[in-house]
Amino acid sequence: DGGITQSPKYLFRKEGQNVTLSCEQNLNHDAMYWYRQDPGQGLRLIYYSQIVNDFQKGDIAEGYSVSREKKESFPLTVTSAQKNPTAFYLCASSLGVEGRLLYGYTFGSGTRLTVV
Amino acid sequence: GQQVMQIPQYQHVQEGEDFTTYCNSSTTLSNIQWYKQRPGGHPVFLIQLVKSGEVKKQKRLTFQFGEAKKNSSLHITATQTTDVGTYFCAGLVSGGSYIPTFGRGTSLIVHP
């Protein structure tokens, strides 16, 4: 079955350490996205990529980095520069855009990162 | 930046009662999407509305897009405990980037 896989489900790290969250999709989707979800804050966009080897900053990119070397993979690194990294991180993918029509997102099951 | 306001933030209902959540944008939207996130889960795409005044139904769920394409609503008739979760709208601004802006969501709590 096609889908989008995030790993691990739970992640604990010490303050000051970088950590990389995995996101893999086999849906053949061009576009991939990273969101951060905090209680009462909804979904905030960190980075997105609409094509391989290209990505754009979202609303809260500071302290994060990404790469898009393969269509299937869009890993997110939470660096020590991120002031408040403890959150629920969601990866999503979509077919992108056709004309002005935006295809719906398929979300992964998320990674809960706790920094202590 | 462009915002999509969603109200209410929380809604408690008795099982069998109706529920409505509203999304409002200060700018015209080219389309709007709705997602549902169960507790502890991830958002799942429900539907997309594109046309002015559009109404779509999925069983007990009715989605509307306003005539001016600045607001939208999701109405659930006769709620069930399986409807529990947070409902998000995501609006795409006309003439803007191809990245939708998510509302903060409405959490629905259904009491049996």
Residue-level pLDDT at A46: 97
How much is the pLDDT for B99? 86
In this predicted structure, what is the pLDDT of residue B3?
82
pLDDT of residue B93: 82
Tell me the average pLDDT of chain B: 94
What integer pLDDT is reported at residue B97 of this predicted model? 73
In angstroms, the CA B26 to CA A29 distance is: 31
Residue A29: band (very low, low, confident or very high) from pLDDT cuts 50, 70, 90: very high
Distance in angstroms (rounded) separating the CA atoms of residues A76 and A81:
14
Chain A interface mutation, best of B102, B104, B106, highest count of A Cβ atoms under 10 Å: B102
Residues B88 and B105 sit within 8 Å (Cβ to Cβ): yes
In this structure, how many other beta carbons lie within 10 angstroms of the beta carbon of residue B15? 12
* Residue in chain B lying closest to A47 (CA): B99
Mean of pLDDT values over B3-26: 96
What the block records as the tokens of A80 is 């020590």
Residues B43 and B61: their CA atoms lie apart, in Å, by 17
pLDDT for the residue numbered B62: 98
Query: What is the nearest CA distance from B49 to chain A, expressed in angstroms?
Result: 10
Output the CA angle B6-B29-B61, nearest 5 degrees: 55
What confidence tens digit (pLDDT) does each residue in A53-70 have?
A: 999 999 999 999 999 999
Residue B17 pLDDT: 98
Residue in B30, B41, B45 closest to A105 by CB: B45
Rounded to the nearest angstrom, the minimum Cα separation between A82 and chain B is 22
Measured at the alpha carbon of residue B71, what is the angle toward residues B66 and B76, in degrees to the nearest 5? 85
Q: Cβ contacts (< 8 Å) between A5 and chain B: which residues?
A: none
Asked if the model's pLDDT at residue A1 lies above 70, the reply is: no
pLDDT in tens, B81-90: 999 999 999 9
pLDDT at A86 over 80: yes
The residue assigned the tokens 């959490």 is B107
> A104, B33: Cβ pair inside 8 Å?
yes
Reported as a single tens digit per residue, the pLDDT across B16-61 is 999 999 999 999 999 999 999 999 999 999 999 999 999 999 999 9
What confidence score (pLDDT) does residue A36 get? 97
Chain B residues within 8 A of A102 when measuring between CB atoms: 30-31, 33, 48, 92, 98, 100
Contacts of B50 in chain A (CB under 8 A): 101
Higher pLDDT residue, B86 or A99? Answer: B86
Give how far B47 is from chain A: nearest CA, Å: 8
Q: According to DSSP H, which parts of B8-64 are helical?
A: none
Return d(Cα B102, Cα B89) in angstroms, integer: 6
Question: Are the CB atoms for B39 and A97 separated by under 8 Å?
Answer: no
d(CA A19, CA A12): 9
Residue B71, pLDDT score: 97
pLDDT category at B2 given cuts 50, 70, 90 is: low
- The Cα–Cα gap between A66 and A76 comes to 5
